[in-house]
């Protein structure tokens, strides 16, 4: 009997709309980064760490790397920011997994494992330090 079927919860529908909106937002951001080269366009914000210290932070060159990736220039993307290039597929998989879990009404795990937080933080810190060392001047 049709009248006794339970309606899906409103929260489930809202999650699907939020996921769809986030996907459209991500595609729009990718389209902007594809169309406007961050190395030549004025509206991308500058890195405050680089402006204050003259050093490259772990994220410096990330937008330029994504721009090059979207244009199929993998080697140039690695030169701009290898950490972003290497971690981007993992980040996209994590976001897709989280979106699928939320739309399937599964209970997401609570929080991120502490060892993973330390690993990611240490990796970002080490990359930020290593990219500023003058390794090209060593004998």
Provide the residue count of the chain: 139
SS3 call for 36: coil
Give yes or no for a contact between 56 and 50, defined as CB atoms under 8 angstroms apart.
yes
CA distance 114 to 89: 21
pTM, rounded to two decimals:
0.79
Give yes or no for a contact between 128 and 62, defined as CB atoms under 8 angstroms apart.
no
CA 92 to chain centre: 7
Q: Domain map of the chain by residue range?
A: 8-131
pLDDT values of the chain reduced to their tens digit, one per residue, 139 residues: 455 555 555 556 777 788 788 889 999 999 999 999 999 999 999 999 999 999 999 999 999 999 999 999 999 999 999 999 999 999 989 888 877 776 666 565 667 789 999 999 999 999 999 999 987 655 5
CA distances from 102 to 15, 59, 68 (A): 7, 29, 32
CA distance 50 to 32: 23
CA distance 94 to 108: 12
Q: CA nearest 69: which of 47, 91, 50?
A: 91
């Amino acid at each position: 009997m049709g009248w006794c079927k339970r309606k899906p919860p409103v929260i489930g529908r809202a999650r699907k709309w939020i996921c769809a909106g986030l996907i459209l937002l991500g595609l729009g951001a990718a389209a902007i980064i594809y169309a406007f080269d961050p190395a030549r366009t004025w509206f991308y914000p500058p890195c405050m760490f680089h402006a204050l210290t003259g050093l490259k932070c772990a994220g410096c060159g990330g937008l330029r790397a994504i721009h090059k990736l979207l244009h199929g220039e993998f080697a140039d993307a690695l030169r701009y920011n290898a950490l972003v290039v290497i971690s981007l597929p993992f980040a996209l998989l994590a976001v897709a997994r989280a979106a699928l879990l939320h739309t399937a009404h599964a209970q997401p795990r609570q929080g991120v494992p502490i060892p993973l937080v330390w690993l990611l933080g240490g990796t970002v810190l080490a990359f930020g330090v290593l990219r500023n060392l003058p390794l090209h001047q060593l004998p």
